[in-house]
Chains A and B, each alone.
Chain A
Amino acid sequence: MSNTLLDVRNLRTEFATQDGIVHAVNGVSFVLEEGETLGLVGESGSGKSVSMLTVMRLIPMPPGRIPSGEVIFQGNDLLKLSAEEMRQIRGNKIAMVFQDPMTSLNPVLTIGTQITEALELHMGMNNEQARKRAAELLKMVNIPEAERRLDDYPHQFSGGMRQRVMIAIGLSCSPQLLIADEPTTALDVTIQAQITDIVKRLKRELGMAIIWITHDLGVIAGLADRINVMYSGYIVETAPTKELFANPLHPYTVGLLGSIPRLDEGKREKLTPIEGLPPDLVNLPVGCPFYDRCRFRTEKCLQENPPLMSVGVKHWSACWNYEDVRQQRDAILKRTALPVAGTPQS
């Protein structure tokens, strides 16, 4: 693909709490190309939101701390910028859309004021220009009667409309990167589909890169070029989307896929949940963090935490026993082996 937009290297985030230090993100590295869509998947507490908030430098410090890492965005390490320089980047070059549209807008300011905020701050627009642009943005996210609705307050909008407003705010300064933190989780399914459609269309039109955080593999399947699967602060598997669904090589990814209800399955088939709970982030194990819940575990997993290992074309997995996973996963997923494009046959 084209140029590297974002290069995250060995990023760590910790929080000092009364119970000890919570290791929320534990050495995350990945590269995002310009215009690429990256899915960040994992359960609650897997560090997907925190890692992105760290990229945005929106972690409250204290108690938060970034003991190591580099976040190289367009050649600059964001972690080394001053607070003021970072503020210039937020909303301007990197924008973020949050999960809950019901609480993400300021109830006492009009929708128009909140959209124009970023335009006036970063683009130096005057009130009139910003208002015109705000109306365009609202039209772009399919809000009818955009001009009139600029003077409405958030409580006069429905949840789906508010999320579209949030996206409009995110897009207002034409950022190179949009980080969407579970933007559809709080919405019902039809609205989810609308929002993802809007984002897909806008991505085509505007050509920005997107990092889409979710715990819903179904939502991300049609959206992302590549998926990072996160577990207790580590990236445990990363692969192009099709490859990941066809050829999962980490027990956790297999577990996630097994927990998706399927329409083409027999009537009485039960879902295969992942047993157990993720490890305590205060006392992370020396070995693999997935050990307790893993059906492929061996002695080695207890002693040494597996690094990401190349297991295919653009495909990395952090599992010592990925060959076992390859052989047994289809039985677990109750499916016939899917054809895998571009994977070296072992």
Chain B
Amino acid sequence: MATTTIDLPAAQVELEKKARPAWLETWQRFARNKPALLGLLIIILLVLTALFAELLAPYDYRQTNLDAVEQPPSAAHWLGTDAIGRDMLSRLIFGARSVVFVMFVVATLTFTLGLLLGAIAGYFGGWSDTLISRLIDFLFAFPSLLFIFFIAATIKPGLVESLRSFALANNMPWLTDFVRSGYADYLVVMISLSILGWAGLARLVRGQILSLREKEFVLGAQAVGVPHWRIITRYLLPNSLAPIFVAISLGLGSIALSEGILAYLGVGLQPPNPSWGNIIAEHSVRYWRTWPEMIWMIFIPFAVIASVVFAFNFVGDGLNEALNPELHD
């Protein structure tokens, strides 16, 4: 009853309010946003799929079956088969592993670089700020696709080859497997994406730190003799985490998309290793002519990429609403 709550002594209400920790309140605000919740579910499914691809995939993604090519979805092949009879579902499941692998590596690298360089530029200012800010401007103006093509065309073949011979010469079977799996092809793409991708985050972190640095509690910490790195890690970065989380979540979506685009353009993972981008690439050449028949061949991998990108964007928006104090009551 409403009256009972009103009758509660003020102190008790206060106590109950205090008992609810901050993270729980943030979660409740986040959970109120249904698209964000759906997005989170998709992301969790994606990661689980990537981790347990071997267990989940009904077929070997490389196994061809010329008796069952271009099958429509059926009980045996839930999402049908492609032109040489490979199971589409299995290929999509292993494609999830490719995209999560790329996202994980690129996000880790860009996150580290962006946080580190942004914090240095914002906190220390002076020539380090000038240098890093100009570098950020340069990267923003840089034609990134062209850069990745350039790297892929010039450095990649040599690098992959030397990695392969290094693995053979030193008898390192895990490295040989890694090269054979096709992920070595990705190394170059991932490193180039990271080199280009940290700039946005660094600019955000720099701005956050610049404004926080003027806060009195930073001066207070300096007056107590707290060393610079401790001020950055305990006073500045934790206070700027909310927008950084949002940026990372949105950034992951764009990394997934980049992976798809690069694979589509033939720079990423090489067939027969599956990536959603190269599945679309293979199929779009063949099946746009047969429109409207066989269109699921393009539509299904497309829908998968799109839903992942949307998922990250929804989660980013949800985080933004939940963490930004100016957006909620």
Contact = CB atoms under 8 A, between A and B. Distances in A.
* Size category of the binding interface on chain B: 10 to 19
B216 A104 contact: yes
Interface stretch (A27-35, A83-91, A132-140): A83-91
B217 A87 contact: no
B286 interface: no
A87 B225 contact: yes
Contacts of A10: none
B235 interface: yes
A103 B213 CA distance: 12
Given A106-B235, A108-B239, A91 B219 contact: no
A98 interface: yes
A105 B18 contact: no
B180 interface: no
Given A62-B126, A98-B216, A117 B221 contact: yes
Q: Taking each of B18, B126, B217, B223, which has the highest tally of chain A beta carbons within 10 Å of its own beta carbon?
A: B223
Contacts of B225: 87-92, 118, 121-122
A118 B222 contact: no
A122 B216 CA distance: 21
B216 A90 contact: no
A323 B113 CA distance: 67
Nearest to A94: B223
B223 A107 contact: no
B224 A166 contact: no
A58 B219 contact: yes
A76 interface: no
Contact of B239 (A58, A107, A122, A156): A107
B125 to A, nearest CB: 8
A109 B234 contact: yes
A96 B226 CA distance: 13
A216 interface: no
A106 to B, nearest CB: 5
Per DSSP, chain B at the interface is: helix
Among B219, B227, B234, B238, the one with the most A-chain Cβ atoms within 10 Å of its Cβ is B219
A226 B226 CA distance: 32
B173 interface: no
A90 B222 CA distance: 8
Contact of A169 (B216, B224, B239): B224
Contacts of B234: 106, 109
Nearest to A154: B217
A329 B226 CA distance: 48
Given A62-B126, A156-B18, A105 B224 contact: no
Interface string A46-60: 000000000010100
Interface string A113-129: 00001100110000000
A337 B109 CA distance: 75
A103 B239 contact: no
Contact of A96 (B217, B223, B239): B223
A95 interface: yes
B220 interface: yes
A95 B227 contact: no
Nearest to A179: B223
Contact of A103 (B215, B221, B222): B215
B217 A105 contact: yes
Nearest to A115: B224
Nearest to A113: B234
Nearest to B236: A106
B216 A91 contact: no
Interface in A165-186: 166, 169
Contacts of B222: 58, 90
A104 B220 contact: yes
Interface of A: 56, 58, 62, 87-92, 95-96, 98-100, 103-109, 117-118, 121-122, 156, 166, 169
14 contacts: A58-B222, A90-B222, A90-B225, A91-B223, A91-B225, A91-B226, A92-B225, A95-B224, A98-B216, A98-B219, A99-B216, A105-B220, A109-B235, A121-B225
